[in-house]
Chains A and B, each alone.
Chain A
Amino acid sequence: DVKVTQSSRYLVKRTGEKVFLECVQDMDHENMFWYRQDPGLGLRLIYFSYDVKMKEKGDIPEGYSVSREKKERFSLILESASTNQTSMYLCASSPAGPLGANVLTFGAGSRLTVL
Chain B
Amino acid sequence: KQEVTQIPAALSVPEGENLVLNCSFTDSAIYNLQWFRQDPGKGLTSLLLIQSSQREQTSGRLNASLDKSSGRSTLYIAASQPGDSATYLCAVLNEKLTFGTGTRLTIIP
Residues of A within 8 A of B (CB): 4, 6, 40-43, 45, 59, 90, 92, 98-109, 111
Asked whether any CB of chain A lies closer than 8 Å to the CB of B25, the reply is no
Known: A100-B93, A102-B49, A108-B43. 19 other contacts (CB 8 A): A42-B100, A43-B91, A45-B97, A59-B96, A92-B44, A98-B31, A99-B93, A100-B31, A100-B32, A100-B34, A100-B97, A101-B32, A101-B93, A103-B46, A105-B46, A106-B46, A109-B42, A109-B43, A111-B41
- Docked pose: A99 CA to B42 CA in angstroms: 22
Inter-chain residue pair count (beta carbon < 8 A): 56
Contact partners of B101 in chain A: CB under 8 A = 40-42
Within 8 A of A (CB), among B2-57: 4, 31-32, 34, 36, 41-46, 49
Task: Point out the residues of chain A lying under 8 angstroms from B45, CB to CB.
Answer: 106
CB distance from A47 to the nearest CB of B (A): 13
A42 interface neighbour in B31, B46, B49, B99, Cβ under 8 Å: B99
Across-interface contacts of A107 in B (CB, < 8 A): 43
| Contact (A106, B96) CB under 8 Å given A42-B102, A100-B31, A100-B91 | no
What 5 A-B pairs come out closest when comparing CB atoms? Answer: A100-B97, A100-B93, A106-B43, A43-B99, A106-B44
Q: Specify the chain A residue showing the minimal Cβ separation from B6.
A: A42
Known: A41-B101, A42-B101, A111-B41. A104 touches B96 (CB 8 A): no
Q: Mark B70-109, 1 if CB is under 8 A from A, else 0.
A: 0000000000000000000101010011011110000000
Residue among A40, A90, A98 making CB contact with B43, cutoff 8 Å: A90
**A4, A45, A100, A109 pick with most chain B CB within 10 angstroms:** A100
Chain B proximity of A104: nearest CB distance (Å): 6
Give the distance in Å from the alpha carbon of A80 to the alpha carbon of B96 in the complex. 28
